[in-house]
């Protein structure tokens, strides 16, 4: 179901309630290694089951379902990957979505108990029974999923920004650095710093080396809700997909720290899933806010006017919005430029 389309009939509701079945089948195929098992060529269900150490019965039923939705081909008893599955569902593909799917699977487990989050206003407890993976593995899935999902949006963001006066960038909560990398690809003279939690930085350091940005990107470990970013060090501060994790009070403090980190005339760029003033549109952002309810202490999707208010309160001027092609929009504001002092009159 396309969440940008309103439900209008009973059949629409039925379709929405059943949509999880395809998602769960894809997740199982990725998590169990079905798609990777077929990457080298076709196999029967029983051969696949032996390769991935699953039951033959369960494997055959799952593979038949994946064939039914167009992700596997089936000829006689042999299954093979469709071009779509080979491109996006095998871990070795440069366009893989496997990490994103793993992250989505982790997230869906918390949505099962959404009613508890609504009752309490607190995130769903991440108990060992609910979370079948370690927190470390889940964090790895999340960070690398962000890398895979942000390739296109990062290019869009870099293209939308005026980088002519930008030489230094702080990427707050920058994860694997995709947005910073896109800016540097557009303007190679830029030097940047990724600020994130220690475990995330350990992944970012690896990605920086793999992507060839060791000479232009550094890292800083810390908690952006606790630690400062310095004073007047950067031409641009980026906060992409982080304010939805925070409460309004946390965001007000965070944006003020971003203001202080900028040189006079520098810009803060906030990229996120923004709502209109009714907070009911776009639907994708409204539903994403539910995801924050079940997974964070105080996060939500916020309206453009809320974000603008926080920025103006922090001292930013010329605050404006840009729509981007893929889901998230950006809000840009500038720290006022330094006032030029009047030239003293020469004594005669």
Q: In whole angstroms, what separates CA 23 from the centre of its chain?
A: 19
Confirm if 56 and 49 have CB atoms less than 8 A apart. Answer: yes
CA-based nearest residue to 301, from 309, 317, 290: 290
Query: Under DSSP, is residue 153 helix (H, G, I), strand (E, B) or coil?
Result: helix
Per-residue confidence (pLDDT) for residue 151, from 0 to 100: 82
Contacts of range 135-144, beta carbons closer than 8 Å, 24 or more positions apart = 136/199, 138/103, 138/106, 139/199, 139/200, 140/203, 141/99, 141/102, 141/103, 141/106, 142/103, 142/106, 143/175, 143/176, 143/200, 143/203, 143/204, 144/99, 144/176, 144/203
CA-based nearest residue to 270, from 297, 288, 291, 251: 251
The contacts of residue 171 (CB under 8 Å, 6+ apart) are 177, 179, 180, 192, 193, 194, 195, 238, 240
pTM score above 0.85:
no
Per-residue confidence (pLDDT) for residue 342, from 0 to 100: 54
Per-residue confidence (pLDDT) for residue 347, from 0 to 100: 44
Confirm if 169 and 161 have CB atoms less than 8 A apart. Answer: no
> What radius of gyration, in Å, describes the C-alpha atoms of the chain?
23
| pLDDT tens across the length of the chain (348 residues) | 555 568 888 888 878 887 888 888 899 999 999 999 999 999 999 999 999 999 988 889 899 889 988 999 999 989 999 999 999 999 999 999 998 898 888 888 788 878 888 889 988 776 655 555 556 666 777 777 778 778 889 999 999 999 999 999 999 999 999 999 999 999 999 999 999 999 999 999 999 999 999 999 999 999 999 999 999 999 999 999 999 999 999 999 999 999 999 999 999 999 999 989 888 788 788 878 888 887 888 999 999 999 999 999 999 999 999 998 877 899 999 999 987 655 555 444
CB atoms within 10 A of CB 91: 13
Domains and CATH numbers, the chain: 10-91 (1.10.10.10), 105-145 (no CATH), 150-334 (3.40.50.150)
């Amino acid at each position: 179901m396309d969440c940008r389309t309103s439900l209008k009939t009973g059949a629409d509701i039925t379709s929405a309630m059943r949509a999880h079945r395809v998602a769960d089948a894809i997740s199982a195929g990725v998590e169990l290694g079905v798609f990777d098992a077929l990457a080298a060529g076709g196999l029967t269900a029983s051969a696949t089951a032996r390769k991935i150490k699953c039951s033959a019965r369960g494997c055959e039923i799952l593979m038949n379902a994946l064939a039914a939705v167009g992700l596997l081909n089936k000829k006689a008893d042999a299954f093979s990957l469709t071009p779509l599955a080979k491109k996006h569902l095998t871990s070795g593909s440069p366009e893989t979505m496997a990490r994103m799917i793993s992250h989505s699977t982790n997230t869906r487990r918390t949505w099962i108990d959404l009613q508890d989050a609504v009752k309490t206003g607190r995130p769903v407890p991440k108990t060992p029974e609910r979370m079948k993976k370690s927190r470390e593995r889940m964090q790895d899935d999340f960070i690398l999923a962000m890398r895979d999902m942000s390739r296109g949006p990062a290019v869009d963001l870099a293209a939308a920004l005026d980088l002519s006066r930008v030489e230094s960038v702080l990427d707050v909560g920058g994860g694997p650095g995709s947005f910073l990398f896109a800016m540097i690809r557009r303007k190679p003279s830029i030097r940047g710093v990724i600020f994130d939690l220690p475990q995330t930085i350990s992944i970012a350091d690896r990605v920086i080396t793999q992507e060839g940005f060791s000479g232009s990107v550094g890292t800083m470990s810390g908690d952006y809700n606790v630690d400062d970013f310095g004073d007047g060090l950067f031409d641009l501060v980026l906060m992409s997909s982080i304010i939805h994790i925070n409460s309004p009070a946390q965001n007000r403090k965070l944006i003020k720290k971003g203001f202080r980190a900028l040189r006079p005339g520098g810009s803060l760029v906030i990229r996120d899933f923004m709502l209109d003033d009714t907070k009911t549109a776009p639907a994708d952002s409204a539903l994403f806010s539910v995801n924050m309810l079940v997974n964070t202490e105080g996060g939500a999707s916020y309206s453009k006017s809320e974000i603008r208010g926080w920025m103006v309160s922090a001292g930013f001027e010329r605050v404006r919005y840009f729509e981007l092609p893929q889901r998230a929009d950006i809000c840009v504001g500038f720290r006022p430029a330094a006032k030029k002092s009047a030239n003293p009159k020469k004594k005669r």
